[in-house]
Amino acid sequence: IRNSAENFSRLSLELGGKSPNIVFDDANLHNALMGVIAGIFGATGQSCVAGSRLFLHEDIYDEFMGMLIERTRQIVVGDPMDPKTEIGPVATEQQLETIEKYVKIGLEEGAKLVIGGKRPEHMKEGWYYEPTIFEHDEHTGCLVTEEVFGPVLSVMKFSTEEEIVQLANSTDYGLAAGIWTENIGRAHRMVDQIRSGIVWVNTYRSISPMAAIGGSGLSGYGREGGLDSIEDYLEKKTVWINTSDEQMDDPFI
């Protein structure tokens, strides 16, 4: 950024996120579960669009949490060269230490650890971390406000559309969001009200080179992908041509 400023260069910044994944009581729970798992544990959570904040409607909270814990417990952590592996290591030792730091602080702040929260015991070497889930009573603390960039999921319950819009937007980020509902009207209302550069409805992490990627706030500015990424680096030219043969009026008369 500093070099760009000094050279007056154009740039776009696609940065991090603290993306909400929202499951309403009328959602297809199996599909939502698959989207939640992919959203936070895919790529070992090392994704800018990771759905690291899961919001569950109070009427399906217990049922969905049971499904989520059961599937998370079955996830195979191991060598990425092993075909049976579902989650591999994080990218660097420093990142592993960062994840551990966040988990430690989260516990000190009162977050309830549901599953995971440590390095896998069967992996004696490497930068591995277990898929981890926390429950939260309040939308406060580092685990729900800061990007961990690892396989750490924070879960909260909600009751109304108004409440979930407020919770989803209670972040300095604005990159991505997921909405799970069979109510098309509700889906449109959420898309309109949630502050996010990308919104997935009944899916998560779908991408295409034709679709723009980017956000607002700490998630950066500008767009990558699609025509928007080209527009950022083009200069528009405005041309005015007088096609009349009539004599122009004196501007001071």
- Going by C-alpha positions, the residue among 197, 208, 220, 230 that lies closest to residue 14 is 220
DSSP class of 77: B
Please say if 142 is a catalytic residue. no
Q: 23 - beta bridge partners?
A: 56, 180
In angstroms, the CA 227 to CA 140 distance is 38
Tokens of 11: 């740039």
In angstroms, the CA 21 to CA 200 distance is 9
83: number of Cβ within 10 Å: 6
Q: Which residue has the tokens 């440590």?
A: 118
Let me know if 158 is exposed, middle or buried by CB neighbors in 10 A (0-12, 13-18, 19+): buried
In angstroms, the CA 158 to CA 147 distance is 21
* Residue tagged active-site, from 14, 130, 146, 147: 14
Q: Which residue has the tokens 């879960």?
A: 155
- Tell me how far apart the 2 most distant CA atoms of the chain are, in Å: 90
Please say if 48 is a catalytic residue. yes
Annotated catalytic sites, by residue? Answer: 14, 48
